[in-house]
Amino acid sequence: MAKSISGPEIEKLIQLLARVPGLGPRSARRAALHMIKKKDQLLGPLSEAMAEAHEKVTVCLRCGNVDTADPCSICTDTRRDSSVIIVVEDVADLWALERAAAMNCTYHVLGGTLSPLDGIGPDDLNIKTLVDRVSNGGIKELVIAVNATVEGQTTAHYITDQLDGFDVSITRLAHGVPVGGELDYLDEGTLTAALRSRTKL
Amino acid sequence: MAKSISGPEIEKLIQLLARVPGLGPRSARRAALHMIKKKDQLLGPLSEAMAEAHEKVTVCLRCGNVDTADPCSICTDTRRDSSVIIVVEDVADLWALERAAAMNCTYHVLGGTLSPLDGIGPDDLNIKTLVDRVSNGGIKELVIAVNATVEGQTTAHYITDQLDGFDVSITRLAHGVPVGGELDYLDEGTLTAALRSRTKL
C-alpha cells in the first residue's frame, strides 16, 4: 500500500503488527483496521497495556519466568512446594503446565535446548542457575519436562549429567497415548512407549 | 491462567490481544510471549505506534476513509482524478483497490450496506454525503464497487435511485471469472455472468 492513502502512522502500525506471530501482512491490515474502528475500546487500552508490560515485565533471575516482579510470583508463592522443580524449555511450556494445574510446585525455564548446529551450548541456557538451585539444597525432585524432540532429550541428558552426585530425584514426563487421542493416528514410537509403560486397570 | 503466575499486566495484555481479529486466546498468549521476548524491538515500538495511531487517526469527513489527516491524503492528492469516485463498503475495500492500483481516482466509503434485518438504514451509511458530493458538481463517474452480495446489490440500487436526475455516469464492477481461477470451482451464477459478458479475443 502506498504511503499516500492512509498516513505513515497507520502504515507503521500495520508493519509492526505483521511481525506478531499469528498475524501475516493481510491479517495485520485487518487487525489494524479493526483496532482503528474500535479506537477507544481496543487501540487505546492495548497501547496502554503494552506500554505497561514494556515498562514492568522482567525475567525472574531465579527461575527464568517472565513476570512483573523478580523473584516472580511463582517463586515467592509460599503455598507452592518449592522442593519440586519442573524444568521446561520455554515460558510457554510453564504456562501450559500451569493451565493443567496438576502440580503445585516451582519451575525452571531453560530458555531453549542444546543445539550445536544452531550454536546453542550449555552457557546459552539457564543450566548453571539450575545447578546452583539444586546445590543450594532443599530440592527433592526435578521433573524434566522438555519437549520429546532430539534436542530436548539431549538437553535432558546433559542436565542429568550435571546433577550427578546431588541427592535429588530426577524424573521425566511419561510417554503414552494423549488423552482423547486415537490409536490409529499415533506413530509407532508413541504406541511402543505406551505399551511398555502399560499400567494395571 | 491464574493471576498469580505472571502478573496482572501480562494477563491484561493477553486478554486484549485475544480481541484482535485473527488472534484467539491461544495465539494471543503466543503473541504476548513473543512481544515480551522482543521487548525493545516489538513491544515498545508497537505500543508507541498504537498510541500515535490512537491520537492521530481520524475519519475523512468528505469520503469516510481513515487517515491521520482530514480531508484524507486521497481527497487532497491533486494527481488523482477527482471526477471519478469509487464507492466501497469499507476502508478495507478501499485499501484492496488501492493495492490493485488500476485507477487513480477518489473514493467514498459507505461504512456498510443497507440491511433492514440488522436495523441498518440509509441514515446509518455515508449515503447523504455521497449525494452531496455529486450535487456539488464536478463528478463524471461513480463506480459502485460494493460486494456482490444481496445487501451490496440492494445498496447499489438505492444509491442509483438517489442519484436519479444527476448528470453522472454510474457503473459497477464487472462480473466474471477471477484471474487465475479454474472454471470447475466456480458457481453457475459467475459462469453465466462471464459467458454473457464475453469479450472478443
Q: Average pLDDT, stretch A130-138?
A: 95
Residue A109 lies inside a defined structural domain of this protein: yes
pLDDT in tens, A52-75: 999 999 999 999 999 988 899 999
Residue B142 lies inside a defined structural domain of this protein: yes
DSSP annotation of B108 reads E
pTM of the complete model: 0.80
Q: Is B3's pLDDT higher than 60? A: no
Give A53's contacts in chain B (Cβ within 8 Å): 9-10, 13, 32, 35-36, 43
Q: For residue A197, give the amino acid letter.
A: S
Confidence tier at A138 by pLDDT (50, 70, 90): very high
pLDDT in tens, A83-115: 999 999 999 999 999 998 889 999 999 999 999
Distance from CA of A138 to the nearest CA of B (A): 22
- Specify the number of domains making up chain B: 1
Give B10's contacts in chain A (Cβ within 8 Å): 53, 57, 66-68
Confidence tier at A181 by pLDDT (50, 70, 90): confident
Q: What is the CATH number of the domain that holds A114?
A: 3.40.1360.10
Note down the domain range covering A93. Answer: 78-172
* Between B175 and A4, residue with greater pLDDT: B175
Q: How far is A33 from B131, CA to CA, in rounded Å?
A: 26
Q: Is B169's pLDDT higher than 90? A: yes
Residue A67 lies inside a defined structural domain of this protein: no
Q: What is the pLDDT of residue A2?
A: 47
Give B11's contacts in chain A (Cβ within 8 Å): none
CB contact under 8 Å between B33 and A98, yes or no, is: no
pLDDT in tens, A7-24: 788 999 999 999 999 898
CB contact under 8 Å between A51 and B47, yes or no, is: yes
Residue B101 lies inside a defined structural domain of this protein: yes
Give A10's contacts in chain B (Cβ within 8 Å): 53, 57, 66-68
The C-alpha cell at A108 is: 525452571
Q: Is B1's pLDDT higher than 70? A: no
- Listed residue (B157, B189, B158, B185) closest to B175, CA to CA: B189
Q: What is the pLDDT of residue A1?
A: 44
Beta bridge partners of B106: B85
Q: Is B79's pLDDT higher than 60? A: yes
Residue B121 lies inside a defined structural domain of this protein: yes
CB contact under 8 Å between B31 and A17, yes or no, is: no
Pairing relation of β-strands A169-172 and B81-88?
A: unpaired
Q: Average pLDDT, stretch A139-150?
A: 93
pLDDT in tens, B93-143: 999 999 888 899 999 999 999 998 999 999 999 999 999 999 999 999 999
Residue B46 lies inside a defined structural domain of this protein: no
Residue A142 lies inside a defined structural domain of this protein: yes
Q: What is the pLDDT of residue B4?
A: 59
Q: What is the mean pLDDT of chain B?
A: 92
Residue B4 lies inside a defined structural domain of this protein: no
Q: For residue A105, give the amino acid letter.
A: C
Let me know: does A34 contact A28? Beta carbons within 8 Å.
no
